[in-house]
Amino acid sequence: MPCPCPFARRFFQRWQQQADPREVATQYAVALRTVQRWFARFARQGDQGIAPDYDHCGQHQARPTAPALVQDLCQTRRAHPRWGSELIRLELEDRHDVLPCARTLRRHLRHAGLQPAPAGRPALSAAPKVPRATRPHQGWQTDASEELHLQRRQQACWLRIVDECSGAFLQTVVFAQPRWEHVQRHVIQEHLRQVFARWGLPERLRTDNGYPWGSSGGFPPEMALWLIGLGIDLIWIQPGCPQQNGVVERSQGTEQNWAEPQTCRDPAELQQRCDRLDRLQRERYPYREGRSRWEVYPELRRAERRYQRRREQSLGDVTRAWAVVAQRVVPRRVDCTGSISLYDRSRYVGKPSIGKSVYVSLDPSGPTWVIADEAGRELRTHAADELTAERICSLSVAGRKGQRSRTPGRSAGGSWMTAVSWATNLVSGFPRQTWCPDFHDKLGVR
């Protein structure tokens, strides 16, 4: 009898143990159909089936692909030129009972003269290394993409949330505004609440330094304080290093290739496509050894930490937000009224400090704002009454509604008299004596 190959001997041992063919296929990284054929052979021939049958080698030819399937395959590629063979195969499963593997589909596309789908974004070896989550829902990554062109000259933007460990597309939220900064914070917060209600709370969230997570003012913005208060560790990537948010950055190109926003009539249709494709990527798209992310990571279905809207204030810990703010010391320039701006609220420092730089920190025991000069001498303290649990949950920490541009050298909390004065100057011109000295120096006016 010819000498059996090692794989045949191992398959025979597993068959004797009445092992599941799927488990054997996963263990040895072979096709399930191969294991099923070996097990059927052992059932017919017993231990005689271990030896290779050289007399029948080459007699079984590959199963030909039906012409109707090849025609449907080519039409799907022409309609969606940026789709890969794996995604096309999933789309054809609903219309055909028997399908060849994705490699066979690629061969038919190549013979038909259809170009392959564009390759994904290459990994940058020079990107700084960051620790990645080791289990589902340990860490999420989020990123926004704007100015997505739709039909009839419409534009939209979306926010994507991806699980860092598995790479599963958790949620894509489409907004009708073309620019991400034009979406109101409360609208973003409401969608995040829906995501938390569906998936639970992650341990950490990695994001960039843009709106609404980051702030150029030095202290974390309202949205960041709300997430931190819910027990989520917010991780800001380094400016200019999107590779640190690589999982969600790579998913942006994949989602645009799959959803094809330019063929959508309106943002509602784009939202429906994204919902279907996100579910397909999680539950059906081959991820590892032919299995989907849903099968490889059963714990992906829901995080351990649950979220309920009615328990949000009791679930949150405002002291966590205070501790993060207390880690920062932020410089401020005292304006001509002797005040500085903190979270768009005017805080008085004193006339002797006009035009000077001061340094602001938070004492979390109060909490209290502590304002000191360059030598570290305390100049003034103010109660941080804006950092309450109610204001953080309602995103009303900042004292000014909306996004208005500030006038250089002026406090954010100017009075109505200042507004009247500026309106008068717009008509009669700006006389030199109405300007602040520090504002003159900044503009270089003598």
- 357, β-bridge pairs: 333
Percentage of the chain beyond pLDDT 90 is: 42
Euclidean distance between CA atoms 359 and 191, whole angstroms: 36
> What are 307-333's pLDDT values in tens digits?
888 777 665 678 889 999 999 999 999
Does pTM surpass 0.85? Answer: no
Query: What SS3 class is residue 234?
Result: strand
Of residues 110 and 56, more confidently modeled:
110
Is the domain of 282 the same as that of 198?
Answer: yes
Is the domain of 282 the same as that of 388?
Answer: no
Is the domain of 84 the same as that of 172?
Answer: no
Residue 172: its H or E element:
strand 169-175
Whether 122 is covered by a domain: the verdict is no
> What are 156-209's pLDDT values in tens digits?
999 999 999 999 999 999 999 999 999 999 999 999 999 999 999 999 999 998
Of residues 366 and 282, more confidently modeled:
282
Is the domain of 168 the same as that of 235?
Answer: yes
Q: How far is CA 342 from the centre of its chain?
A: 29
Residues spanned by the domain of 370: 318-416
Is the domain of 186 the same as that of 247?
Answer: yes
Query: Which pairing describes strands 357-363 and 330-333: parallel, antiparallel, or unpaired?
Result: antiparallel
- For the cut 90, the answer to whether the pLDDT of residue 265 exceeds it is yes
Whether 196 is covered by a domain: the verdict is yes
Is the domain of 257 the same as that of 326?
Answer: no
- For the cut 50, the answer to whether the pLDDT of residue 213 exceeds it is yes
DSSP for residue 335:
-
pLDDT score, position 408? 39
Euclidean distance between CA atoms 55 and 63, whole angstroms: 20
Of residues 128 and 190, more confidently modeled:
190
- For the cut 80, the answer to whether the pLDDT of residue 42 exceeds it is yes
Q: Say if CB 109 and CB 92 are below 8 A apart.
A: no
Whether 40 is covered by a domain: the verdict is yes
Whether 143 is covered by a domain: the verdict is yes
Euclidean distance between CA atoms 341 and 191, whole angstroms: 30
pLDDT score, position 58? 55
Distances (CA, A) of 62 to 58, 83, 425: 10, 26, 85
Whether 398 is covered by a domain: the verdict is yes
Distances (CA, A) of 167 to 133, 142, 213, 275, 322: 10, 12, 22, 16, 32
Euclidean distance between CA atoms 425 and 414, whole angstroms: 16
| Amino acid identity, position 242 | P
Kindly calculate the radius of gyration of the chain based on its CA atoms and give it in whole angstroms. 31
Q: Structural domain tally of the chain?
A: 4
Is the domain of 295 the same as that of 192?
Answer: yes
Q: What is the mean pLDDT of residues 393-421?
A: 53
Is the domain of 199 the same as that of 336?
Answer: no
Euclidean distance between CA atoms 311 and 320, whole angstroms: 17
Mean pLDDT check: name the lowest of 148-157, 293-302, 417-426: 417-426
pLDDT, mean over the chain: 82
Is the domain of 269 the same as that of 186?
Answer: yes
Whether 356 is covered by a domain: the verdict is yes
Q: Say if CB 114 and CB 77 are below 8 A apart.
A: yes
Q: Please report, for the domain that includes residue 263, its CATH number.
A: 3.30.420.10
C-alpha angle 294/300/306, rounded to 5°? 145
Is the domain of 329 the same as that of 388?
Answer: yes
Exposure of 53 in the CB half-sphere (CA atoms within 13 A):
13
Q: Say if CB 161 and CB 142 are below 8 A apart.
A: yes
Is the domain of 188 the same as that of 263?
Answer: yes
Is the domain of 239 the same as that of 145?
Answer: yes
55 CB-contact burial (10 Å; exposed 0-12 / middle 13-18 / buried 19+): exposed
Whether 198 is covered by a domain: the verdict is yes
Question: What confidence tier does 355 reach under pLDDT thresholds 50, 70, 90?
Answer: very high
Question: What confidence tier does 61 reach under pLDDT thresholds 50, 70, 90?
Answer: low
- For the cut 80, the answer to whether the pLDDT of residue 216 exceeds it is no
DSSP 13-67: HHHHTT--HHHHHHHHT--HHHHHHHHHHHHHHGGGGGS--GGGTT-SPPPPPPH
Whether 133 is covered by a domain: the verdict is no
